[in-house]
Amino acid sequence: MTQPASAGPQPSAGQFPAGQFPAGQVSAGQPPAARPPAVRCDNLVHVYGTPGSEVAALRGVDLTVRPGEMVALLGPSGAGKTTLLWHLAGLLRPTAGRVEINGRRLTDLGTGALARFRLAEVGLLLQNPARNLLPYQSALGNLMFTQAPARRSASARRMRATELLDRVGLGGAAHRRAGRLSGGEQQRLAIAVALANDPGLLLADEPTTQLDPVSAAAVIELIRDANTSQGTTVVAVTHDPAVAGALGRTITIRDGRVGAEGLAGQEYVVVGRDGTLQLPAELTDLFPPGTLARAERHEHGVFLHQVDPPAPVTPAFARTRTLTCILTARLIRRARGRAGERARGPGPALRDRRPAAPD
């Protein structure tokens, strides 16, 4: 059975202001102002490895996502996107800083409480689709298994499973083992599994990498529906412009920090808590690392001027400078020597050469 597409005008993706969902949904009964952010990271730092071989994957991430927002995490490979997503799922412990989901600090939760939190509140899609599935279970079996903790009758679970399989175009593959599905089919099944329990927070790492445009559109539609009908907050790592466009707000991570943010098609740099900002990638050729620049306050903002660095000391220049110093030192010594001679008066040889005084 296929769930009908939501009728009538849809709010644009990710555009619910904080706490304002359609009546009767997740925010019902709570005044909007009382709701904490769905996601909050404060100066989040993560270092992998052991002393001597550390990799600083996150270097002080500050991030707030309001309930019902949809956010795309963008950035080059190795920027720290997956690490950040794992922190939001409580799968990693921060080296420093804090992560709060719906007002709860994840480091305050023990292992059992963390597992319950994930089960009840989070839909998670890991980067490798196969990691989200039970390979020996059928597609239908995976969806039934994931709903086991939900308070639903067996027939309601089966209905939900069948509906999701239809939505992602796997209606005909319900009884095929997950391990036998193609990469794209596994990815579609994995997003269905992540959304099966109507989570309050969906965390998806590259949900469309293996999909053709038609399947990707179906997955995007499924995510948007969860947002509009359930108020699901979405944070998705993606390189796919179609996904980023559908989610509305973009956050670009570079070198373990939030570098830029996109809203309503406009890109902004983000000033960090210590006043640092990352130049947009297209300007980095003007200001290579180590460039000296002067920041000047102007009426409408700040101008950043590159200033000429002092001339570099090349080997040839260094040799010339050394030679000049040696010559200068010799001249000084000679001049001092002459001055000394004058002070002492003429030496005997010179005195001898003087004409004899007339008698």
Residues that bind Mg ion in the complex, under the rule CB under 5 A? 82
Residue 114 near residue 106, CB atoms below 8 Å: yes
In the bound complex, what is the minimum distance in angstroms from residue 106's beta carbon to ligand ADP? 17
Tokens of 103: 């007002």
* 172 makes contact with ligand ADP (CB under 6 A): no
For the window 180-199, what string marks contact with ligand ADP as x by the rule CB under 6 A? --------------------
Q: Which is nearer to ligand ADP, 83 or 138 (CB)?
A: 83
Q: Which is nearer to Mg ion, 82 or 229 (CB)?
A: 82
* 254 makes contact with ligand ADP (CB under 6 A): no
Nearest to 203 by CA among 130, 122, 149: 122
Segment (H or E) for 40: strand 39-48
Q: Which is nearer to Mg ion, 74 or 178 (CB)?
A: 74
Vertex 67, ends 64 and 72: CA angle to 5°?
60
Identity of the amino acid at 123:
G
Vertex 222, ends 221 and 228: CA angle to 5°?
85
In the bound complex, what is the minimum distance in angstroms from residue 5's beta carbon to ligand ADP? 32
* 87 makes contact with ligand ADP (CB under 6 A): no
Tokens of 320: 């010339």
Give me the residue whose beta carbon is nearest to Mg ion.
82
* 75 makes contact with ligand ADP (CB under 6 A): yes
In the bound complex, what is the minimum distance in angstroms from residue 112's beta carbon to ligand ADP? 24
Q: Which is nearer to ligand ADP, 52 or 348 (CB)?
A: 52
Q: How far is CA 352 from CA 342, 346, 348, in A?
A: 17, 10, 6
Q: Candidates 1, 5, 28, 55: give the one binding ligand ADP (CB under 6 A).
A: 55
- The interface partner of residue 75, options being Mg ion, ligand ADP, none and the CB cut-off 5 to 8 Å by kind, is ligand ADP
* 229 makes contact with ligand ADP (CB under 6 A): no
User: Which pairing describes strands 39-48 and 96-101: parallel, antiparallel, or unpaired?
Assistant: antiparallel
Segment (H or E) for 113: helix 111-121
The three-state secondary structure class of 106 is helix
Interface region with ligand ADP, contact rule CB under 6 A, candidates 75-83, 177-185, 222-230, 298-306: 75-83
How many of the other CB atoms lie within 10 Å of CB of 90? Answer: 22
The three-state secondary structure class of 52 is coil
- The interface partner of residue 79, options being Mg ion, ligand ADP, none and the CB cut-off 5 to 8 Å by kind, is ligand ADP
CA distance 113 to 108: 9
Name which of residues 24 to 53 contact ligand ADP (CB under 6 A): 48-49
- The interface partner of residue 77, options being Mg ion, ligand ADP, none and the CB cut-off 5 to 8 Å by kind, is ligand ADP
Alpha-carbon torsion 154, 156, 157, 159, what sign? positive
Binding residues for ligand ADP, rule: CB under 6 A, are 48-49, 55, 57, 75, 77-83
